[in-house]
Every structure is written in structure tokens, then in C-alpha cells.
Structure 1
């Protein structure tokens, strides 16, 4: 019984090596897994599930890419692997239509699930970066159902332009921020573990793959951080049977 967790693939037409690497991973690695968890930022940008209607007429190429990915996920799901999708800060508009097309289930952020024989807290990770006050303000707006409904009501062309604008603004803002501001706030990590009554947290978002030993309520705890995928390599967390989760880097082929 194997469980695999990944995040931060940032799939986009401009990075075909990552898409091809992921599709190979789905065909060669994932079929041995009982479950696959994708913890956010699966796509570099997602403007709404109706993007799938554009097909080849999508000027960004994202619709065709998403259809290929959804079909591959559905094949995996139909073979018996459970697939779970969590929203990230790039693809928070992923909806039930895409999940159904992919044979996946949307997973709330945060969620406690049983991996192996232990309860584990899963998060995308952006909600832990509370020192980045500007981003936290945007996150509150982007998770507001009224704001999302307003955006989804815009013509697709306007949403595509908005997505580009938000990415450009994010890149410019991050280039001027201190590194520690964009990382998690340690006290928030401890509080999240304490609030959910678990001793293990798995998340992505920060692009800083590592395993951190912590202490919560006087007892040992652990935080595992998934890395972002690049054209030549990916990251996964593996849980074998009732064993401990471990972080693994691998080459994309």
C-alpha cells in the first residue's frame, strides 16, 4: 500500500518538459499507489473550468494541456488509484468540473488524512506565510466566494488578462521581499499542528523542500515540505504501508 504526494508542478504550455514528465510519472510511478494527493499549484494559472470549452481555440494553450492531463488522471483513477486535488495560490479557481473530468476529488485546505497508520495534516502552505501581509490580504480576497463569482462572471479574455496581470504583479512583488517573509511563520506551523491534534504536517508552496523536526506540546513533531517541479526533476513524498512519510527527489524522463 503506497501513497504519493506532490505539489507545485505549475503546469503550463511554456514548460512542456514538466507536463511530459508528469504524464510519464502518472503512467509509470503512480499506478502502484493506492492514492495520489496533489497539494496545490498544479497549474501555473487557472481561470475557471469553462476554459476546457476553448480546446484548441485557447490562445494560451492551457485548455489543451489541461485536457491531456485530465484524461491521464482519469485513466489512473479508473484503474483504482484515488486522486485528491487541493487548491493552491495559483489554481484556486479549480472546480468540480475539472475534478470530475480528472476522476479526482477536491480536498479542503487544510485537511487531516490518515497516511500509513498516522493522522497527517495536509496544506498547500500559503496560509502559513503570515509575515507576507500583502499576500495574505490577496489570499483573503481570492478565497472570498463573492470575489470568485465576480471573476468567473467575466469574459474569458478578461480573465486571461487578469491572470497574466496577477502573475506579473506577484513576480515583481516577490523580487522585492526578504526571503524569510515568503517562508512559513514557525509559530503558525506549531499552532496548526496543535489545533488539528497531529504531529506531522505536509505542505508545498514555498519551493523549499526539506524535512523539519519540531516540538509541539513538548512532543516531537515533523514538517515535510514538497519541492516544485523543474524540467529535469520532480519531488514526491512517499508513504509505504504503515511507514513514515519520506521526501524524495527524482529525475524526470
Structure 2
């Protein structure tokens, strides 16, 4: 039976070879069997620009490029890798999608996104998100030397961890009203997103009808994959 894979929040970095190996195994053995593979953001722990040419980044791109020869690969930016541009996407054989997109999944219109735009109670992050997605801020940052961008990224990661320690769990989760608002805006009954690292399948109401929100898991302790066919969808794990 035909099926499609969704992954998000892999958070690849050179100091986590266990995550990398799990993803590589998935890309080599499983992804080519799917109709399509959607990566819904935070593929990397941090991305400082397509000009950051490293053997690690090139290896990841090559693995996805191999998949793309038989299976279309689509990518939505996350909050950690919003600086990925067309150069690296082309190298990886990926098609870049807007931050919110509606796709037809075996006859069911489905809204997909990274999900960070739905966490509106995190005021400080939303302010940063607005700035980082502006037309000028990415251009300014990407014009700076790579060495400086590395320092900015490292400081940003440290500050993000400190900020999250003081936040209540509900602040870091999606705002339910924003979920309904988005689904009604796009007139869909199903949404798939990541970002919150809380894999689950939620039942709700949107457009006056039953609806479903599927949250993808992160890859910190195991691989997390959503498999969807015409008749079913399952959240699955891949052991390290």
C-alpha cells in the first residue's frame, strides 16, 4: 500500500553521531520505499548558512540527494535551520515549501508546518521569530563572516536553553486557538507539525467538524517517524 513519511526535529550535529547514524539508516533502507518524504524543520541543530561547507553537511546532503532519485523530498524550515537556502536544498535534492502548506494526502487535504508559529504564548520567541523571518535580518546575518555567525549561533543556543528553563510547559506548547485558527484558515481537518517534541495524535474540532492534529517527535533519544497511507497513520520509533 502506498505511503508517505514525515520527520522533524532531528537536530543533527557532529557531536551526536547516534542521531546521524539513525537518520542515515532510515534514508538508505526505508525512505526510498515511500511516495514522498517530508522534513518539517529542525533537520539541523543549527544552520549558519549554505556557505558553511563541511564534510558533515555535504554527507547529509548526499544522503537526501540519493533518496530524491526515487522519492520526492520536501522541506519546511524550522526555528533552528531557517537559514537554509536554495543552494543547499538543491544539493540535497529537496523542494523548499512555505512555512505553512496544504498537501493532498491520498485524498485528504492536510496542513503541514514546523509548528513554532503556533506557540504564541512564548512572547519572547515570537518576537525573535518575526525578526528572523524578516527580509532584512537573514540577509544581514548571512553577509557576516562565518566565524562570527558560529559565535552568534552558539550564544543563541545557550540563551535558548536558559530561556526554556524558566518557561512553563504550556507556554512552550502550541496555543489551541491558533491551531483551530490555522486549520479553519486553510479549510482542512488534518494538521501535521513538529517543534514541540511531544509526539501525539490529538482530536479536536475545526470548521465545525471533527479534526486531527498529529505532532511529530524529536530524534534526541530515538528516531521518530510518521507513516501515512490512504487508510491509516502511525507514529513510529527507530532505535539508535
Query: Where on the TM-score scale, by shorter chain, does this alignment land: which range?
Result: over 0.9
Q: CA deviation at 1:250?
A: 2.7
From 141, 146, 151, the counterpart of 1:156: 146
Alignment of 1:34-73 (within 5 A): 34-52=35-53, 63-73=54-64
Alignment check: 8 A CA contact 1:116 1:244 kept = no
In structure 1, the residue matched to 2:87 is 97
Runs of 4 or more, structure 1, over 3 Å off, are none
C-alpha separation between the residues in 1 aligned to 2:220 and 2:76? 20
C-alpha separation between the residues in 2 aligned to 1:192 and 1:244? 23
Q: CA deviation at 1:247?
A: 1.7
In structure 2, the residue matched to 1:57 is none
Alignment check: 8 A CA contact 2:22 2:238 kept = no
In structure 1, the residue matched to 2:237 is 249
Alignment of 1:13-28 (within 5 A): 13-28=14-29
Alignment check: 8 A CA contact 2:111 2:190 kept = yes
Q: Say yes or no: does 1:10 pair with 2:16.
A: no
Alignment of 1:171-182 (within 5 A): 171-182=161-172
Q: Which runs of 5+ in 1 are unaligned?
A: 53-62
Q: Say yes or no: does 1:238 pair with 2:227.
A: yes
C-alpha separation between the residues in 1 aligned to 2:165 and 2:124? 13
C-alpha separation between the residues in 2 aligned to 1:168 and 1:160? 12
TM-score, with length taken from structure 2: 0.97
SS in 2 for 1:169: helix
Alignment check: 8 A CA contact 2:187 2:207 kept = no
Alignment check: 8 A CA contact 1:128 1:188 kept = yes
Alignment check: 8 A CA contact 1:117 1:243 kept = no
SS in 1 for 2:9: coil
**Number of paired residues?**
239
SS in 1 for 2:164: helix
Q: Say yes or no: does 1:75 pair with 2:66.
A: yes
SS in 2 for 1:172: helix
Q: Deviations over 1:140-165 (max 9, x none)?
A: 01101200000000000000000001
SS in 2 for 1:207: coil
SS in 2 for 1:222: strand
In structure 2, the residue matched to 1:215 is 205
In structure 1, the residue matched to 2:33 is 32
Q: Say yes or no: does 1:110 pair with 2:111.
A: no
Alignment check: 8 A CA contact 2:199 2:216 kept = yes
